[in-house]
Copies of this chain bind each other. A is one copy, B any other.
Amino acid sequence: MKELVALILAGGTGTRFSPFSRDKLLFPFMGKPLVSFTPVFSLPKTVNRVVVVSNDKNKEWFIDANFGVPHTVIVQNESNGMADAVLTAEKEIGNARLLICIADDLFDAALLSTVVETGQKENVFGVLPGWKTKTYFPGGYLVQDGKRVSGIVEKPGEGKEPSEYVNISGHYISDSDVLLNALKTTKRDTDDVYEEALTGLMQEYEFSMVPYTGRFQSLKYPWHVLPIMDTLLSGIAEFRGENVIIKDHVVLEGQIHIGNNVKIMEFTKIVGPVYIGDNTIVGNNNCIRHSMIGANCITGFNTDITRSYIGDSCWFHSNYIGDSILEENVSMGSGSVLANLRLDEGEISSIVKEKKVGTGRTKLGAMIGNNVRIGVNASIMPGIKIGSRSFVGAGVTLAADLGSDSFCKNKPQLEIAKNSKQLNPTARDQFKTKL
């Protein structure tokens, strides 16, 4: 049997992941990069070798990574789709069986083993997982022909799905040369050359499907950090680091990971699952629910953090942070708010590459890059993105995305007049009696 090569697609520029400056695969969760939680680090034992198609931001990380088997790292920065990504690795994957994984697809790692085993057992040319999902998914759907898969239809539209099964990564291909040839000869007049090539091969070769009903998540847009965080939080264990100080009058509920040297101040409630990184101080009178908070943060007095991702070195003070994502070293002045709900309570959309994209969420706060400063009493509207190294002035209501390296403030708008009003010296005494 040919060598089994896991081809991990981890390249591309990830422009849709703005305002976050990190490579999305290296976006840290609980102190570790996202990719370390994905199936590509739980590959089947039958894999002989790993080839990674990386980009400039994550190349070094992948070079240093340990897959348990030998691995090679190739760089592909321009993002020309999956077919080109596979072809970039052509010299490293000839005359092999392939297990092709998109690195930011998150699903149960056992699926990969099942896919490979099915390929060997059924002795078919290819095996694809088919993800059964209740709601329409804007991706490719598998066409079934008896036991076999006979095509992939991209974005068929709701109600027009050819089957219940969505095409997700983890593809087993028994002959890499046949695939490479098909990728080269398929017309470039579509965004979906890879899927077209597979559909072409399906007319000639047998493809099986492994039905899959587990979780599937992908990190394309910045707001996808939140459901991934939810998944990772749901598995955290109760943990208390060294030198943790929990003051009196603190209420801890549910599973909470508390890192080394963390302090939690009085009159604060934390409702797990919550992760708190090393050296972080959770201030007085806080309420923290279902969130990840990085290392070296100070939440300050009277802060409410709910269903949010907070990177390292963030400072807060009497803020509301709901359903928001803050990359790193973000500070918010007293009273500033990351709103997470439209007044009409409708779906929150976001502008990505100049196009409006529905987020599928009615609760979504801000997405903020690193080294951002937000002034006191500023209001950031739901779904707004703020680029790295930008400042938002005091009292600003920010209702559109703000790019990186920007300073945004209110135009001067004050009227100053002589104050002709007199204070009634006894008014206060009257108020006091009503206290």
Interface positions of A (Cβ within 8 A of B) = 247-249, 251, 265-267, 269, 281, 283-285, 287, 298, 301-302, 304, 307, 313, 315, 317-318, 320, 322, 333-335, 337, 339, 341, 343-346, 362-363, 371, 373, 375-379, 381, 389-391, 393-399, 402, 405-424, 427-428, 430-432, 434-435
Q: Known contacts A414-B411, A428-B315; is A395 also within 8 Å of B376 by CB?
A: no
The quantity of this chain's copies bound in the complex is 3
**CA A379 to CA B410, docked complex, whole Å:** 12
Contacts of A405 in B (CB 8 A): 418-419
How many Å lie between the Cα of A34 and that of B284 in the bound state?
33
Inter-chain contact A379/B375, CB cutoff 8 Å: yes
A408 and B414 form a contact (CB under 8 A): yes
Among A373, A390, A397, A431, find the residue whose CB has the most chain B CB atoms closer than 10 A.
Answer: A397
Q: Is the CB of A337 within 8 A of B419?
A: no
CB-CB under 8 A from A335, the residues of chain B are 320, 335, 337, 377, 379
Q: A247 — which chain B residues lie within 8 A by C-beta?
A: 251
- A426 vs B373: C-alpha distance when bound (angstroms): 15
- A–B pairs, 5, beta carbons within 8 Å: A301-B320, A304-B317, A345-B428, A377-B378, A379-B394
Choice from B249, B376, B422 contacting A320 with Cβ under 8 Å: B376
Across the two chains, which residue of chain B brings its CB closest to A402? B416
| Smallest beta-carbon distance A358→chain B, Å | 15
Contact, CB under 8 Å: B345 / A427: yes
CA distance A179 to B297 in the complex (A): 60
Shortest Cβ distance from residue A13 to the other chain B in the assembled complex, whole angstroms: 23
Contacts of A413 in B (CB 8 A): 410-411, 413
Q: How far is the CA of A393 from the CA of B395 in the complex (A)?
A: 13
Contact assessment for A320 and B318 in the assembled complex, using a CB-CB cutoff below 8 Å: yes
* Distance between Cα atoms of A389 and B430 in the complex (Å): 20
Q: Are B415 and A410 in contact (CB under 8 A)?
A: yes
With A376-B320, A419-B405 already in contact, the answer to whether A346 and B424 are too (CB < 8 A) is yes
A416: which B residues are within 8 A, CB to CB? 402, 406-408
Q: Check B315–A301 contact: CB distance below 8 A.
A: no
Contacts A395-B397, A410-B397 given; indicate if A318 touches B304 (C-beta within 8 A).
Answer: yes
Instruction: Please pick, from B284, B402, B418, the residue contacting A287 in the complex, using a CB distance under 8 A.
Output: B284
Q: Which of B249, B265, B345, B402 contacts A424 (CB 8 A)?
A: B345
Q: Contact: B414 with A409, CB < 8 Å? A: yes
- Whether B317 lies near A302 (C-beta < 8 A) is no
A252 to B256, CA, bound (A): 28
Complex: how many Å from CA A341 to CA B315? 12
CA distance A396 to B414 in the complex (A): 8
Question: In the complex the two chains form, is A428's CB within 8 Å of B313's CB?
Answer: yes
Cα–Cα, bound, A398→B416 (Å): 11
- Asked whether B417 lies within 8 Å of A406 as measured between CB atoms, the reply is yes
Residues of B within 8 A of A302 (CB): 285, 287, 302, 304
Contacts of A307 in B (CB 8 A): 434
Shortest beta-carbon distance from A198 to chain B in Å: 38
Collect the chain B residues with CB atoms within 8 Å of residue A398's CB.
414
By a CB distance below 8 angstroms, the chain B residues around A376 are 320, 337, 339, 379
Given the interface pairs A335-B320, A414-B396, the reply to whether A269 lies near B251 with Cβ below 8 Å is no
**A373 proximity list for chain B (CB < 8 A):** 343-345, 423
**In the bound complex, CA of A371 to CA of B267 (Å):** 33
Pair A418/B396 contact, Cβ less than 8 Å:
no
Q: A394-B381, A406-B419, A415-B408 are in contact. Are A333 and B344 (CB under 8 A)?
A: no
A254 to chain B, nearest CB (A): 13
In the complex, the answer to whether B377 meets A421 with C-beta atoms within 8 Å is: no
Given contacts A269-B266, A333-B341, contact A411 B419 (CB under 8 A): no
A227 to chain B minimum Cβ distance, whole angstroms, is: 13
- Given the known interface contacts A344-B423, A397-B410, A408-B415, the answer about A301 and B287 at a Cβ–Cβ threshold of 8 Å is yes
In-complex Cβ contact of A427 among B362, B378, B435 (8 A): B362
Residue contact A414 to B424, C-beta cutoff 8 Å? no
Cα A141 to Cα B317 with chains together (Å): 43
